[in-house]
Amino acid sequence: MPSKKDNPASHLSRLLALPLLALATLAGGGQDAAAANAFDDEAREIEALAEQMMARARIPGMAMAIVADGEVVSLKAWGVVDSKLREPVTVDTSFRVASLSKAFAGTLSAMLVREGAMDWDSPIVNQLPTFTLRDGQAAQQISVRQVLSHQVGLGYNTYDRDLEANEPYPLLAAKLAEAPLTCSPGECYAYQNIAFSLVGDMVFAVTGDFYAAQVEKRLFQPLGMYGATFGRTGLESSPSWARPHVRSGGTWVPVRPKETYYRIPPAAGVNASARDMAQWLIAQMGHRPDVLPPELLEEIRTPQVETPGEIRGSGWRRDRLRKAHYALGWRIYDYAGHTMVYHAGAVQGYRAMTAFIPERDVGVVILWNSESTMPYGLLPSTIDRALGLPAHDWMTPPARRRR
């Protein structure tokens, strides 16, 4: 059953405010550098784990960035962009980041709300008068907040299969009028891609500019994400870009990137390198208040709805997570008693993960060009070290560990 909406003024949301206030009052770069240097040893350990994993898993390519206290403490790349061409991956190689794109949508929306161009809780039909659902009265209640926190009332991943079958986004957005509802808007959580991308239509309605152009102008350029792009054309025009790989005959085979999820830029349209994503993490962790002020970051990281299904997974989720929520483009986890801001992404031939601990001001992003599950263990390995938790082997599947 979907979860009832959690109170945004919960204990967890109050915890989120504390690191932001602390970040806003940090004094001097010397303290930042000293703290970042304190994580250098841990960063080298994670790099060594990544080296071992790449050798063992034989996946095509991967790039990783670790940031601490506003500084990049690790920026590394391994493997090749294409298993047939053997061109090496670099820290400037572009990858599809898939659903990591959702945090860009939440952040841009918060900027427009602060400017008064949008409102979190006003009905989106004020700007999108043709939008409707099977329950027309329910459609009149849908807000930007509900769109960005997956509380529209639709079933999980509504019309994703149609998108994968090459049906255009405008037709799928119109077809939401036919989709069954599982609850009233704001009363349950169900992850979306099509409905989530309505925020792009809202951005166009209130700015007169395309969603991707607004993200490039307001986020990519000011934050120094100079290699970040949107769409397949943007990816394939990059000086270095990672080809997606799928399993075939026991090996990884490169294929052309699919266009499908690029048709919904707010949900899954961004391409970026590890260097680009390091700058994104630094900004999201509060070190670019000139672009993203603390109040804005607090807004998009405030839990909106409980997502208990996230803690019933295998591995680190089951062992480390105590609570899980969705905010506005970010997932918010209680990771062994500490707030973790997180998202993952997956499209054919690519995987991506990012997370940070506001309390410790440490974050990591991992991008790879295959569907291997092996790199997933690097994220909890990094977070455990940031929190000083006992060492745990997250890199080896449980069935293979020595007992």
The three-class DSSP label of residue 144 is helix
Is residue 18 over pLDDT 60?
no
Rounded Cα gap, residues 293 and 82, in angstroms: 39
% of the chain with per-residue pLDDT over 90: 85
Using DSSP, state whether 66 is helix, strand or coil: strand
pLDDT in tens, 48-104: 999 999 999 889 999 999 999 999 999 999 999 999 998 999 999 999 999 999 999
Q: What is the pLDDT of residues 122-158, one digit of tens each?
A: 999 999 999 999 999 999 999 999 999 999 999 999 9
The answer to whether the beta carbons of residues 323 and 333 sit under 8 Å apart is: yes
Q: What is the pLDDT of residues 205-257, one digit of tens each?
A: 999 999 999 999 999 999 999 999 999 999 999 999 999 999 999 899 999 99
CA distance 355 to 334: 12
Bridge partners of residue 76, in order along the sequence: 64
What confidence score (pLDDT) does residue 359 get? 97
- Sorted by where each begins, the domain ranges of the chain are 11-107+211-387, 124-207
Asked if CATH classification 3.40.710.10 holds for the domain at 11-107+211-387, the reply, yes or no, is yes
Q: Output the pLDDT for position 398.
A: 58
Give yes or no for residue 275 having a pLDDT over 90. yes
- Rg (the chain; Cα; Å): 20
Which amino acid is it at 363? G
Q: In what helix (H) or strand (E) does residue 378 lie, and over which residues does it extend?
A: helix 378-387
Per-residue pLDDT of 344-373, as tens digits, reads 999 999 999 999 999 999 999 999 999 999
pLDDT > 50? residue 334: yes
